[in-house]
Amino acid sequence: MTSARLGFNARISFPTGGAAQALRDGIELFRVAEQLGYDTGWVYQRHFDNYLASPLVFHAAVAQHTDRIGLGTAIIGVRYEDPILLAEAAATADLLSSGRLQLGLGTGQGGFDSVFGQEPNDGREQSQTRLAAFLRAVRGEQVGVVGDLAGMVATGTELTVRPTSPGLGDRVWYGAGSVASAERVGRQGLRLLLSTILSGQIDDYGAELARAIKTYHSVHPATSPAQVAVARSVLPATSPELRRRYAAYDEERRTQGPAASRPQGALAPTAGPPARFTMSPVHHGDPSEVLDQLLADPSVALADDLIAFLPPAFGLRENLRLLEDIATTVAPHLGWVPSAPA
């Protein structure tokens, strides 16, 4: 960690019927994480499932209960987002949080084209088209002109998104799961979010991510900030009970892949890790063992931000214990210093 920034990624998952409590617990998670000195907290978007669907609305609420912690999205899938509406919502959330939004975007989950009123398409290509339109909008560039002769605004009037939030355009991240996609993000001048799932069968996960980071930096222009975040399952066991719990989660993730640690009532994906993907390792054991594993990972050393991925089915009490243990037993030995109150 070159600048020793520490974050966490919470799924904000809920059992069927428990969404309201899960959202309140999510706000409490951010509030306590800020007290522990975490630099950022990230949330994930997932449609039609027992997970958070509207990260920007959630962060607008979190902003009213916190003062300093960065509010990240990892990720919002742009394939189903209207670029202008997304820019409006992002700017509003950023202004409400006094410029704390870290906006992570990506292609996102597929399979819902018809539900969103779209013809089946190449999600990656469509995402890139919508990303370009979003970047123009969020940076305050012209997005169109008035063409309705019957309107109250003069025909030909230039249109820009309002409100805009100064600096938000430089805090846009994009998710990548391969060296090639990391290179594309670098050429676009965006910040890089490296996924916990890589494309293809990878023998050395950390080495592959290190390649992606080096490639990203080699092509990133000097006109915008270059920043890299890596996400890891970091589970330091500070009791025998936690050691057993974390080992069981590791086994579940190894055997079930994306289906692991899902809340009651959630949609069940195909069991087992797909052969075309490689899941990130779970770093668990005594704090010293976890630290050694992270120190041996070349991508962690190259990253600006380490994001601790919280198991989706963990409840508030489990997650708070995990955040505290990471902040006190592992992160300081990686060079991290807790952020001071605002």
- List alpha helices for 4-99, DSSP H: 19-36, 55-62, 83-96
At 271 the pLDDT is: 54
Give the span between the Cα atoms of 131 and 282, in whole angstroms. Answer: 32
At 290 the pLDDT is: 98
At 62 the pLDDT is: 99
- List alpha helices for the chain, DSSP H: 19-36, 55-62, 83-96, 123-138, 179-187, 205-219, 240-256, 287-295, 298-302, 316-325
At 184 the pLDDT is: 98
The CA–CA distances, whole Å, from 319 to 200, 242, 277, 324, 339 equal 31, 12, 27, 9, 20
- Output the pTM of the full model: 0.95
The CA–CA distances, whole Å, from 119 to 111, 112, 116, 126, 267 equal 11, 10, 9, 11, 23
Closest CA to 189 of 176, 175, 167, 173: 173
Q: Is 176 helix (H, G, I), strand (E, B) or coil?
A: strand
At 149 the pLDDT is: 65
Q: pLDDT per position in the chain (342 positions), as tens?
A: 544 899 999 999 999 999 999 999 999 999 999 999 999 999 999 999 999 999 999 999 999 999 999 999 999 999 999 999 999 999 999 999 999 999 999 998 888 888 888 888 888 899 999 999 999 999 999 999 998 766 778 889 999 999 999 999 999 999 999 999 999 999 999 999 998 888 888 889 999 999 999 999 999 998 889 999 999 999 999 999 999 999 999 999 988 877 788 888 888 776 555 667 888 999 999 999 999 999 999 999 999 999 999 999 999 999 999 999 999 999 999 999 999 886
At 158 the pLDDT is: 94
Instruction: Give the chain's domains with CATH numbers.
Output: 5-110+123-141+160-250+277-334 (3.20.20.30)
Please give the biggest Cα pair distance in the chain. Answer: 72
At 150 the pLDDT is: 60
At 222 the pLDDT is: 85
